[in-house]
Structure 1
Amino acid sequence: MSRSRAPRGWPDPPEPLPLAVVDNHTHLDSVLTWRADGWEQADDLGAQLDRAAAVGVERMVQVGCDLAAVDWTSSVVRAHPQLLGAVAIHPNEAVRHAGVREVAADGLDPEEPHETGLDDALAHVASVARANDRIRAIGETGLDHFRAGPAGRAVQREAFRAHIALAKELGLALQIHDRDAHDEVVEVLLADGAPDRTVFHCFSGDADLARLAVSQGWYLSFAGPISFGANETLRAALREVPPSRLLVETDAPYLTVHPFRGRPNAPYLLPGTVRTVAEVTGRALEDVCASVATTSAAVYGAW
């Protein structure tokens, strides 16, 4: 995403929502350390949580998907009742833990391997998830064909299967990362058996994939891209999702809702996505807020 080099600060807070909602996928560790092209650092965590609550985003699922973020997530969800946690090794991180070095599908040079092997990294995720009852999901995990070449994709698939097995063993939800890999993600889920509460984080498929996911009892989470002008295919998919299977997220600090695309994201900007959901589906804003809160509790339990 392009960003102006002139610091413009964080977007102004939106109008508060009429009822409280849940941001079911955010990376607050990255929000708090965001630096790019002149952007100033974000406030401390307490300030971000207060800013979100002021506009109706009272609860969040903090997602840690590298080893440092896994440990940070486990700590902050114990300290802040507004937060529950999800932990995993991100698909692209799995490739690095496996020591795979190849020219990636996106043409970028491969990143340096991690010192910790993949088996040990996965074992650490499992240990954290078992020890902390405020960790309610395994994720984000899945497949990223945008970034990985053939060897990396094979590693990602095995890591994905390991995360699926862990989520089922612990009775936790599963948050899926699916980038340019729709068919393969579905293939693994159907072959291995998806956990009872499986969420497509930042859903990016079409109406056919949305209908398939709903038929399997999976959940679809929509982020800022549903507000982007060119994404009519994504909006058509949204219309296929019943309220009982619909979640919303920021994926902060990424994927900021229009008209702030290209600026850093945070949970307090989620109301823009919620209002877009209401507009696209023709539902009352109050109804969308209420169903998002109810569905979030069905997936993650009580905060």
Structure 2
Amino acid sequence: MTDRPTRSRAATEEKTGSRRDRTPPPAPEPLPHPVADNHCHLDIADGDDWFGTEEAIAAAAQVGVTRIVQVGCDLPGARWAVEAAGRYDALVAAVALHPNEAPRLAAAGELDTAIAEIAELARDPRVRAVGETGLDHYRTGAEGRDAQVESFRRHIDLAKRLDKVLMIHDRDAHDEVLRVIDEEGAPERWVMHCFSGDADVARACLDRGAHLSFAGTVTFKNADPLRAALRVTPADRVLVETDAPFLTPTPYRGRPNASYLVPLTMRAMAQVRGDDLAGLCAAVDANTSALYGPW
């Protein structure tokens, strides 16, 4: 297996002068029923002393997070995700070009070639999802959005042709994401990763057959609209994720995230919904299996 890609959020922050406490938070109390982390980036390190892959998987298993969807969102990350899923039983892979990759590749004349490689990688049985693809109006301006839409449409087609889950990144682009989904036709199985809309957006996605995956953002103080969305999501459509090493849940917001912190988000989700924790964990676990199949 090739070494993990060396992309590092910590290095980026150091260049911009930002400083954070990168001490790993303590392990939370284990969950009463196993769940899966439905979206994780083990290939993105968060400091030189952060978890290695085996450590991250083991730490997660100790608190009841026994399965992880490893998401590769550029070509090096996608290649590594497939290799990692072949090596570690706890992992399955998702591969795609992140929407912020699409304009860069298009400008270099490399988008077609990159999508062709993603298509080849996606044929591997260890790859259960095409994602994260979608639209991002936060980091990409108007000049790059045509490339994002083109890439999104081609990933939708790929997911449908290969009968894979479609995993969508949607940042500040709710209406446009749904417009493209309506025009292309939604796959049988699709997920709004790190769902960020309110209850109305949630209903619009659910009406089109989506599963909604909630990250540590649901614990943030200013996330009342997101918590309202969680409340209207049926138990058979709800998922949990980290998006690690990003979006660490309260009370450790700003520190690095990893799959072993899923219990913090799960407990917050159960409280928001008024659900029994064990029952919600069982539902999330079943939903994950229904989407991605057995590990």
TM-score of the superposition, structure 1-length normalised? 0.90
* 2:23 is equivalent to residue 9 of structure 1: yes
What is the aligned partner in structure 2 of residue 120 from structure 1? 113
1:248 and 2:240 matched: yes
Q: 1:58-100: CA deviations, max 9, x gaps?
A: 001000000100110010000111101100000001111011x
Q: Tell me if structure 1 keeps the 8 A contact 2:22–2:256.
A: no
Tell me how far apart the structure 1 counterparts of residues 20 and 138 of structure 2 sit (CA, whole Å). Answer: 30
Shift of residue 8, structure 1, vs aligned partner: 5.2
Matched, 1:154 2:146: yes
In 1, the alpha carbon distance for the partners of 2:59 and 2:262 equals 11
What is the aligned counterpart of 1:197 among 183, 189, 192? 189
Match of 2:102 in 1: 94
CA contact 2:212–2:239 (8 Å) conserved in 1: yes
Structure 1: runs of 5+ lacking an equivalent? 100-112
Shift of 1:156: 0.1
Distance (whole Å) between structure 2 residues aligned to residue 43 and residue 276 of structure 1: 24
Mapping 1:134-173, distance limit 5 Å:
134-173=126-165
- Cα contact 2:71–2:93 (8 A) shared by 1: yes
Contact 2:20–2:255 (8 Å) recurs in 1: no
1:46 alignment counterpart: 54
Alignment size in residue pairs: 281
Identify the residue that residue 6 of structure 2 maps to in structure 1: none
C-alpha distance in 2, partners of 1:76/1:282? 37
Tell me how far apart the structure 2 counterparts of residues 173 and 161 of structure 1 sit (CA, whole Å): 14
Per-residue deviation, residues 213-269 of structure 1 (Å, max 9, x unmatched): 112211100000100011101000100100111000000000000001000100000
Letter in 1 for 2:94: A
Report the Cα distance in structure 2 between the residues aligned to 1:67 and 1:242, rounded to whole angstroms: 35
Look up the SS of the partner of 1:69 in the other structure: helix
Instruction: Quote the Cα distance in structure 2 between the aligned partners of 1:22 and 1:218.
Output: 18
SS in 2 for 1:10: coil
Distance 1:257 1:9 in 2: 14
- Decide whether aligned partners of structure 1 residues 11 and 167 sit closer, same or farther in structure 2, where only a CA change above 3 A counts: same
Q: Do the aligned partners of 2:21 and 2:255 also contact (CA within 8 Å) in 1? A: no
Matched residue, 2:5: none
Deviations 1:23-75 (A, max 9, x none): 00000011xx223xxxx421321111100000000001000000100110010
Checking the alignment, whether the CA contact within 8 Å between 2:20 and 2:254 is kept in structure 1 is no
Q: Does 1:271 align with 2:283?
A: no
- Hey, what's the Cα distance between the residues in 2 that align with 1:6 and 1:67? 29
**Aligned residue in 1 for 2:213:** 221
Structure 2 residue runs of 5 or longer lacking an equivalent are 1-8
Deviation at 1:9, TM superposition (A): 1.4
CA–CA separation in structure 1 for the residues paired with 2:230 and 2:18: 31
Distance, in Å, in 1 between the alignment partners of 2:136 and 2:194 is: 13
What's 1:60 paired with? Answer: 68
AA paired with 2:102? A
The 1:207/1:7 distance shift into structure 2, 3 A limit, reads closer
Identity of aligned residues (%): 52
What amino acid maps onto 1:26 in structure 2?
Answer: C
SS in 2 for 1:188: helix
Residue 256 of structure 1 aligns to a residue whose secondary structure is coil
Following superposition, which runs of at least 4 residues in structure 1 exceed 3 angstroms of deviation? 1-8
What's the counterpart of residue 168 of structure 2? Answer: 176
Give the aligned residue type for 1:72.
W
CA distance in 2, matches of 1:56, 1:163: 32
The 2-side partners of 1:12 and 1:257 are apart by 12
- The reply to whether residue 34 of structure 1 matches residue 42 of structure 2 is no
For 2:114 and 2:223, the matched residues in 1 are separated by 36
CA deviation string 1:119-142 (max 9, x = no partner): 000000000111x10100000000
